[in-house]
Amino acid sequence: MSQKLAVSFILTLLTGCGQLQSPASQAPAAARPAGPEIRWVVADTRKLTEAVEIAIINADPDYQTEKKRYADSKQAQQLLREQIDELEQADKRKCIDERGNPRQNDPNNSSSPLNTPMLRGFSRPSRLSAEIQRPNKPSYWDCVKTIAEDPLISDLRTQQSRFGNIEQQRRNTERERRQRAETILSKLAADYGQAHGYPLILNNISQYVLFNRNKVVLDVTDDLLDYIAAHPEATQPPAVAADPAVNP
């Protein structure tokens, strides 16, 4: 066998051995998860909820009327409260004038300012003024108790009660509107995600993300705002059922 033929035969054997040994000697490739890669986006939930609330307000034909009614009721209630306070103060002053104040003018009362020794640096008029403001006579307090029976004050309190708790009513209305906005936003976000192929939309609070391999975040807040604006029918007031016809 010639030298050239021997070298060729050896190379052929080595090649064949390498092909036979390669599956066992090479490490298997890492398995890749089956299916498409998950795509997720984020959005500013607070901003979107506020946008939906504004859309609800703009679509409500009764909003401005209710807003003015609330402001008028608030002002009327405040005026009634001020009138009641003025009448009560006037009645209290009348009680002092009519029933007197023993601490102020009874010379036999040891606690009267008139019988209290004055210390250097203190003035008696200020003590007198303090005693006038804090009467200590049973007849005075009996008079004060009758203030609630004043017909004018009772009438004003009755008018005040007709307004009810307007602040509580306002808070209830705002809470109901916020809950409706959140419900509408959930529906619109789901429709938007389906239309754009996003299987997951998260709130854009970064501290809730424990791991983000690519450090890439797609914020679709502005796009969702446009989507909300393009679907005004979602924020229309709910239809009010018509009253059933009454048979004669």
In order, the DSSP letters of 97-111 are HHH--HHHH-TT-TT
Identify the pLDDT of residue 100.
Answer: 58
pLDDT in tens, 195-235: 999 988 988 877 777 887 877 788 999 999 999 999 999 88
Helices (H), 134-230: 138-145, 151-162, 166-196, 221-229
Q: Residue 51 — φ and ψ, nearest 5°?
A: -65, -40
Residue with tokens 């005693």: 131
Average pLDDT over residues 105-113: 49
Identify the pLDDT of residue 168.
Answer: 87
Identify the pLDDT of residue 204.
Answer: 85
Q: How confident is the model at residue 99 (pLDDT cuts 50, 70, 90)?
A: low
Identify the pLDDT of residue 113.
Answer: 47
CA distance 62 to 201: 34
Q: Which of 17-26, 70-79, 139-148 has the lowest mean pLDDT?
A: 17-26
Q: What percent of the chain has pLDDT over 90?
A: 33
CA distance 51 to 228: 8
pTM surpassing 0.85?
Answer: no
CA distance 141 to 233: 64
CA dist 46 → 41, 51, 128 (Å) = 16, 9, 59
Average pLDDT over residues 124-144: 59
Q: How confident is the model at residue 128 (pLDDT cuts 50, 70, 90)?
A: very low
